[in-house]
Copies of this chain bind each other. A is one copy, B any other.
């Protein structure tokens, strides 16, 4: 059986070097190309396919300093824009906020690992994802489990989106413009968010959402 052919996507040369070194120690895995962002990744994907050297797995960061972000790139890859058939996408990133995980999974990612994971965990994830299985970091899996077991009122995708804008300090009007909806709708969403989070104003909502890692607090 031939090696798993991996495409690395990360905007940090240091991280790419680390993954390259790490994957070199895994038997059965070969890094065939690298890219610094989503745009470059799509280019690499189709380039490799036209060469008859398809990629078996994309290992990608979510946050990219410049160019297309990981979620968008994942969507495009899964839509077949990088050449068919689309390879599994394994997300390897720094943060484990609900919003990030949800977005990645919805975009079609096959796995979600954290960069502080030990090499062995990363190895397992790479092999699983390449084999078409789902690979979630224990922390991530636990979070999703807790979310299912706990009837903690789940925020809808739109509500999380609102929360994220909220945390940047935008007013209702600004959010309405940004999302192309009316202020009335923004207010409706906010009321729902407040009741689900058990708070009664926007700042408290941000505090709780940040604490529960629903959104990122950096």
User: Which B residues lie within 8 Å of A153 (CB)?
Assistant: none
Bound CA–CA A117/B65 (angstroms): 11
Q: Which secondary structure characterizes the binding site on chain A?
A: helix
CA A20 to CA B14, docked complex, whole Å: 9
B15→A115 contact, CB < 8 A: yes
Q: A20-B21, A21-B20, A210-B217 are in contact. Are A169 and B201 (CB under 8 A)?
A: yes
Chain B proximity of A28: nearest CB distance (Å): 19
Contact of A17 among B22, B94, B204 (CB under 8 A): B22
Determine if A168 and B15 form an interchain contact, defined as CB atoms under 8 angstroms apart: no
| Closest Cβ–Cβ distance, residue A200 to chain B (whole Å) | 9
A171 touches B (CB below 8 Å): yes
Let me know if A207 and B21 touch, CB within 8 A: no
A162 at interface (Cβ–Cβ under 8 A)? no
Interface residues of A in 175-216 (CB under 8 A from B): 199, 201-208, 210-211
Q: List 28 A-B contacts (CB under 8 A).
A: A11-B116, A12-B115, A12-B116, A13-B18, A13-B22, A13-B117, A13-B119, A14-B92, A15-B115, A16-B18, A17-B19, A17-B22, A18-B20, A18-B21, A20-B21, A94-B94, A168-B203, A168-B204, A168-B207, A169-B201, A169-B204, A169-B206, A169-B208, A202-B203, A203-B206, A206-B206, A210-B217, A210-B218
